[in-house]
């Protein structure tokens, strides 16, 4: 019988990552396209020392109780709202995420989505593809400017700061932010951003970008009241988690043009998308791809793999989320 630890890779990953893990562990993989149900996931985690998850597999008290051999779960995502961190800590299971390696790529995408939204790129391409472009018109897909406008960032962690730098230094934007805690003066200066109240953020920004972590307190934190504070010309971009925005309130506001447009990379029930959103023209919709460049996804997967290797061989993870007394 093998003495090597056993791990499950709970979603298909690049072959290079599987190979790296096979150097250290007995590895059970998940075929491409397969998403385990809760019961199937528990069944596969049983008898494993470690699991590599994406941001979608729920790790909760029920799974932990059914899998007493489990020692570490490494999330291939910076967000970890799929983890019940308290339950993991109580069970002595190490939790890790994949921060830093995706920061700049995700900020690039945040900006791309902001620009596509403000400049109506998707909407105008659909119009062209549908053969509807038959004449030039002064106001044809006239949108909102990015340069010189005010960028409001809700959540000022690493990705928020990287978006701020792009706005302030690349596009000459006035950048305002709101966060649980204020950045120190050096960080504020580096990203050219100033701290404002939540209300001022929504009322003063021409473009609001959401990059805060999804916690129970953040559920629907952007709803009818926040949208009502926004300018009718403003845009809203969400690259954080779908549950942060009350999608029904957003759909109503977009329909009634109470704000100009929205760009959404994340959805409350993803991969299901609220069918109402699909009927609104002034929203750009992308399938949770903000970190999706090949080098970055490879770096995220390798960091998750390195967390499994480091923790199961030395007891010290590379990017730990909790401190545990090992099982």
Q: Which is nearer to ligand 8YV, 227 or 264 (CB)?
A: 264
Q: Which is nearer to ligand 8YV, 18 or 66 (CB)?
A: 18
Residue 161 CA to residue 221 CA, distance in Å, equals 20
Measured at CB, which residue is nearest to ligand 8YV?
Answer: 55
Q: Is 120 a catalytic residue?
A: no
Q: Is 270 a catalytic residue?
A: yes
Place of tokens 């995502």: 77
Q: Is 126 a catalytic residue?
A: no
Residue 218 CA to residue 214 CA, distance in Å, equals 6
Q: Which is nearer to ligand 8YV, 7 or 78 (CB)?
A: 78
Please identify which of the residues 11, 120, 288, 297 carries the catalytic annotation: 288
- Least distance from ligand 8YV to the Cβ atom of residue 304, Å: 9
For 234, residues 6+ apart whose C-beta sits below 8 A from its C-beta are 144, 205, 206, 207, 208, 259, 260
Q: Which is nearer to ligand 8YV, 54 or 282 (CB)?
A: 54
Q: Which is nearer to ligand 8YV, 200 or 268 (CB)?
A: 268
- Least distance from ligand 8YV to the Cβ atom of residue 77, Å: 3
Residue 201 CA to residue 203 CA, distance in Å, equals 6
Contact criterion met (CB below 8 Å) for 22 and 310: no
Give kind and range of the element (H or E) at residue 307: helix 294-314
Give kind and range of the element (H or E) at residue 42: helix 38-45
- Least distance from ligand 8YV to the Cβ atom of residue 266, Å: 7
Provide the binding-site residues for ligand 8YV, judged by CB under 6 A.
54-55, 76-79, 102, 291
Please identify which of the residues 188, 241, 247, 297 carries the catalytic annotation: 241
- Least distance from ligand 8YV to the Cβ atom of residue 105, Å: 9
Closest CA to 175 of 202, 200, 194, 155: 194
Q: Which is nearer to ligand 8YV, 109 or 202 (CB)?
A: 109
- Least distance from ligand 8YV to the Cβ atom of residue 128, Å: 30
Count Cβ atoms below 10 Å from residue 305 Cβ, excluding itself: 27
Residue 63 CA to residue 280 CA, distance in Å, equals 39
CA distances from 319 to 72, 78, 159, 234, 303 (A): 12, 10, 17, 37, 8
Please identify which of the residues 220, 270, 276, 327 carries the catalytic annotation: 270
- Least distance from ligand 8YV to the Cβ atom of residue 286, Å: 12
Expressed in angstroms, the distance from the first to the final Cα of the chain is 22
Strands 283-285 and 150-154: unpaired
Q: Which residues are catalytic?
A: 241, 270, 288
């Amino acid at each position: 019988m093998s003495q090597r630890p056993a791990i499950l890779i709970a979603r298909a990953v690049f072959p290079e990552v599987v190979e790296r893990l096979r150097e250290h562990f007995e590895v059970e993989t998940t075929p491409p396209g397969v998403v385990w149900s809760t019961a199937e996931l528990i069944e596969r985690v049983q008898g494993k020392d470690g699991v590599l998850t994406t941001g979608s597999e729920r790790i909760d008290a029920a799974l932990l109780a059914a899998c007493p051999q489990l020692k570490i779960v490494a999330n291939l995502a910076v967000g970890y709202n799929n983890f019940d961190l308290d339950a993991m800590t109580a069970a002595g299971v190490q939790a890790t995420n994949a921060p830093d390696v995706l920061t700049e790529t995700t900020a690039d995408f945040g900006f791309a989505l902001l620009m596509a939204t403000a400049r109506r790129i998707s909407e105008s391409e659909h119009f062209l593809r549908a053969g509807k472009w038959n004449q030039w018109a002064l106001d044809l897909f006239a949108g909102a400017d990015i340069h010189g406008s005010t960028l409001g960032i809700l959540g000022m962690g690493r990705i928020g700061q990287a978006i701020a730098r792009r706005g302030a230094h690349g596009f000459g934007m006035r950048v305002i932010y709101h966060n649980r805690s204020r950045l120190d003066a050096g960080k504020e200066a580096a990203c050219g951003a100033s701290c404002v109240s939540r209300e001022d953020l929504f009322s003063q920004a021409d473009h609001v970008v959401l990059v805060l972590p999804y916690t129970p307190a953040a559920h629907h934190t952007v709803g009818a009241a926040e949208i009502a504070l926004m300018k009718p010309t403003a845009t809203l971009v969400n690259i954080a988690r779908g549950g942060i925005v009350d999608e029904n309130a957003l759909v109503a506001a977009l329909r009634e043009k109470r704000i100009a447009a929205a760009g959404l990379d994340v959805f409350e029930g993803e991969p299901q998308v609220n069918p109402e959103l699909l009927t609104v023209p002034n929203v750009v919709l992308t399938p949770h791809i903000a970190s999706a460049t090949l080098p970055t996804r490879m770096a995220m997967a390798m960091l998750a793999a390195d967390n499994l290797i480091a923790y199961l061989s030395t007891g010290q993870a590379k990017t730990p989320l909790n401190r545990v007394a090992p099982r």
